[in-house]
Amino acid sequence: MKSSTFPVKFEDLYGFTAEGNIDDVNVLNEVRERVREQGKVWWDLEASKGANWYLQPQISWNGEGISVASLKLSKLANTITLKRLIRKGIPPVLRPKVWLSVSGAAKKRSTVPESYYDDLIRATEGKITAATRQIDHVSS
């Protein structure tokens, strides 16, 4: 039996136990290293530009790419930098905050009442919908 086909258990990037062979573990270790290196780029940029520099209201996602509401040179440079960094990978710990900002979700969230999520929950509580059937695997 080749060592590359011998099954081993390992933890993936998100903490889940996975099973694969030694080649899978080696690939995962390479990915971990790339994620670590890209994370260092983000942290270095945060150290130089300040925390949350990417949360500027002038930078947003328009469905086709990042759009720029203000063409000030510093903002444009930040937009180009952000676009390049997103393409190379956002560190897992920053993903929720970055995507909330650049997707426009933060802006959208600010336009709905604070009770919006609870209102949605109440509206479907106790009801079987297409979504609950899919999530809970409930058959009708």
Question: 59 lies in a domain?
Answer: yes
Is the pLDDT reported for residue 139 higher than 70?
Answer: no
CA atoms within 13 A on the CB side of 45: 18
Domain residue limits at 37: 3-112
Question: 117 lies in a domain?
Answer: no
Q: Quote the pTM value.
A: 0.49
Question: 125 lies in a domain?
Answer: no
pLDDT in tens, 7-66: 899 888 788 898 999 998 899 899 889 888 888 888 888 888 888 777 764 545 555 555
Cα dihedral 105, 109, 110, 112, rounded to 10, equals: 140
CA atoms within 13 A on the CB side of 50: 5
pLDDT in tens, 70-106: 445 456 567 778 888 888 888 888 888 888 888 888 8
For the chain, list the strands marked E by DSSP: 8-11, 17-20, 59-61, 66-68
**pLDDT for the residue numbered 3:** 54
Is the pLDDT reported for residue 67 higher than 80?
Answer: no
Is the pLDDT reported for residue 116 higher than 90?
Answer: yes
d(CA 5, CA 45): 41
Question: 130 lies in a domain?
Answer: no
Question: 26 lies in a domain?
Answer: yes
How many domains would you assign to the chain? 1
**pLDDT for the residue numbered 113:** 92
Cβ–Cβ under 8 Å, residues 22 and 3 = yes
Buried b / exposed e over 9-41, threshold 16 CB at 10 Å, is eeeeeeeeeeebeeebeeebeeeeeeeeeebee
Question: 134 lies in a domain?
Answer: no
